[in-house]
A and B are shown apart, each in its own frame.
Chain A
Amino acid sequence: MTGAAIEATGLGMKYRGRSRGWALRDCSFRLPAGRVCALVGPNGAGKSTLLALTAGFLRPSEGAVRVLGTTPGQARARVAFVAQDKPLYPQLTVATTLWAGAELNPATWDQDTAERIAGELPRDAAVRDLSGGQRTRLALALALGKRPELLLLDEPMADLDPLARHQLMGALMAEAAEHATTIVMSSHLLTELEGVCDYLLLVDGGRVRLGGETEDILAAHTLLTGPVRDTAPHTVVESRAAGRLQTALVRRQGPVDTAVWEATEPSLEELLLAHLRSPEAPALLTPSASAVEEVAAA
């Protein structure tokens, strides 16, 4: 088994002193290395918790997550993480922040990359005087300057205007392509990620509901339109009837009877919304996203 960037088995996280219960429960999935993965789900789904566990900021309440083949703590130098609030020291300047990045990552720091991402940020401006978008840019410069093998970004583009978003996303993808960096980007806005991500993780209610190559997940589903009748043998994700007509998003089990149904491939957005509206729909993990059970090989 080679090349898993993240491998979670039975991962669960319960915050102490909070009555909300489990932020994440029974998560098992696998993210192959080299992918650009969209981590999507509604607010409070457990995306940030999953990223914080992967980055080694939190100790899981149960289960385990392995990062780049080792523990999150051991992988720390090879993983970069930009938290949702873009933490930066407000009293430092842009230049000092980049200097701190070099000091704190002595083994991997690449000043040129950091400078390139920082772009036209005024180097002697204090971080506290930067706008939200500028802070995002600086936080990304710090993360990419580290030259990570795995880059975890929690809601990275929320503070950016469309132009800056496009530009930074381009720079990010260029870096990823050049160094085969694995990227996990969380967002509750799918449009932010569609088109750049080739892998998908849908987290909802503290569980992984969909995981795998975007194409494979899309290909596994079909949007059926036709008369109101049983859709067996296909697994129904969501079914809606309007008059005598029924629209159903199903996971195909065998060929679709095209004499009865009109079959189309759903858009990614339709697929995700259908799953979010139907919490009881079974989870789907493609083979590459399935965590390998710890079978006693010997």
Chain B
Amino acid sequence: MSAISAPSSSPAPRATAAPRGRLRGPERVVVTQHRWALWVMGVLPVLAVVSLVGAWLWTEHVGDAFAATGCSVVHTTPDCGDTVNAYLDRRLWMREVLHWSGLLMTALPAFVGVFIAGPVIARELESGTYKLAWAQSVTPARWLAAKLAVPTVVTLASVSVLSAVCAWAQGRADSAHQGQVWHERTVYGSMGTVPVGYALCMLALGALVGLVLRRTLTSMVVTAIGYGALVAAFNSVRDNLWPSLTDTFAQGSDHLFPDGAIYIETGWLTDSGRRLPHSACLEWNPGFKQCLTEKNIDLRYIDYHPASHFWPLQLVETGILLALAALAVALAFRVLRRSHG
């Protein structure tokens, strides 16, 4: 109770420390300023939980009802036609729901970044309202810290819940054998730690862009383009983020590709262990056998990530994203300090 100041009838300044355990001044003002956007970010996970759980309950209800009819998808009979159709439609619909929710999840970091870059940072600099905060007892660095802290907390909470909900829905789909494979962009990018990594990275990059460009619309566009570039860059390097596994097998023998693995590359291995591209000798060429012996090709290899690499890949990617975020935040504070002291 140390925060309570003695009541005073004199017009002396009411010097009160912020009560412990509650938001402090600049953060409270940021919350008030952006309460609508923060409210949306808070409501989003609730909506996602309700709609995804609802969709699953409905789908399973249809499945149970279908099982009770005694009809079968494989050995269907003429009078079962409509029932089977309705059941398959529902399963297809659920697949669509999962696909679209995954797609929305992968787009979410772009919205976070664009929001920070434009309305939160650049608009203040463009319209001059930053001067209101700085003219109070708030340093520019403190102002930026509050501007970053509030969205970070809300984003972290919101995206974590959303990611968990997506993982749950995907897990249910997997157990019903109607899920998508783990390495598909809408699956991989919508669950685990990667969505959180992207959201925080975009938050930091958005802040940096807004601080440097100081124009609302330009900052928003540049941040959106930046997200596209970031995603494209990670898509092209992701396979190398964790050492892949290699299987070798004799040409002509059947190779059993592990269940759920993602194929990366295949080619030939010479007897000295050198790798040759698959195109070095093509099976459908007439001189195929001769080609193999000429080039001393012994075995065929295949590089792949098994399903168990989901978490290592996720964690490495998230780690890089968080490092990028930290770098962007450090740069943002530097930019601020250099021009504004």
Chain A residues packing against B (C-beta within 8 Å): 16, 55-59, 72-73, 76-77, 80-83, 85, 87-92, 96, 99-101, 103-113, 142-143, 146-147
Contact = CB atoms under 8 A, between A and B. Distances in A.
B12 to A, nearest CB: 8
Given A104-B26, A108-B137, 4 more contacts: A77-B137, A83-B135, A87-B135, A109-B13
B276 to A, nearest CB: 55
A110 B26 contact: no
Interface string B299-338: 0000000000000000000000000000000000000001
B129 A87 contact: yes
Given A58-B340, A87-B128, A143-B135, A103 B25 contact: yes
Contacts of B290: none
Interface in B29-72: 29, 32-33
A89 B132 contact: yes
B172 interface: no
Contact of B14 (A55, A96, A111, A142): A111
Contact of B132 (A16, A88, A111): A88
A91 B135 contact: no
24 contacts: A16-B339, A55-B134, A55-B135, A56-B341, A57-B131, A59-B339, A76-B134, A80-B135, A81-B135, A82-B135, A83-B135, A87-B130, A87-B131, A88-B132, A90-B127, A100-B29, A103-B29, A104-B25, A104-B136, A106-B18, A107-B137, A109-B14, A110-B13, A110-B14
A177 to B, nearest CB: 15
For the side of the interface on B, what is the size category? 20 to 34
B258 to A, nearest CB: 56
A87 B341 contact: no
A58 B13 contact: no
A91 B31 CA distance: 13
Nearest to B12: A110
A38 B127 CA distance: 27
Contacts of B138: 76, 104
A92 B135 contact: no
Contacts of A88: 129, 132
A96 B132 CA distance: 13
B137 A92 contact: no
Nearest to B146: A104
9 residue pairs, one from A and one from B, having the closest CB atoms: A104-B136, A59-B341, A77-B137, A103-B25, A81-B135, A87-B131, A87-B132, A87-B128, A83-B131
B233 interface: no
Nearest to B138: A104
Contacts of A92: 32-33
Contacts of B33: 89, 91-92
Nearest to A96: B32
A20 B256 CA distance: 72
Given A83-B128, A89-B33, A96-B32, A104 B137 contact: yes
B251 interface: no
B139 interface: yes
B6 interface: no
Contacts of B25: 103-104, 106
B28 interface: yes
B211 to A, nearest CB: 14
Given A73-B139, A83-B135, A57 B32 contact: no
B133 interface: yes
B57 to A, nearest CB: 40
B338 A59 contact: yes
Contacts of A77: 137
B16 A106 contact: yes
Contacts of A147: 13
B140 to A, nearest CB: 8
Contacts of A91: 33
A104 B130 CA distance: 13
B70 to A, nearest CB: 61
A146 B139 CA distance: 15
B13 A76 contact: no
Contacts of A83: 128, 131, 135
Interface in B124-174: 127-139
A80 B135 CA distance: 6
Contact of B131 (A16, A81, A105): A81
A89 B18 CA distance: 23
B341 A72 contact: yes
Nearest to B132: A87
* B128, B135, B138, B338: residue with the most chain A Cβ atoms closer than 10 Å: B135
Greatest chain B CB density within 10 A among A16, A87, A110 is at A87
Given A81-B131, A81-B135, A107 B13 contact: yes
A239 to B, nearest CB: 43
A58 to B, nearest CB: 6
A76 B29 contact: no
Contacts of B15: 106-108
Contacts of B340: 56-59
A72 B135 CA distance: 11
Contacts of A85: 128, 131
A2 B199 CA distance: 53
A123 to B, nearest CB: 15
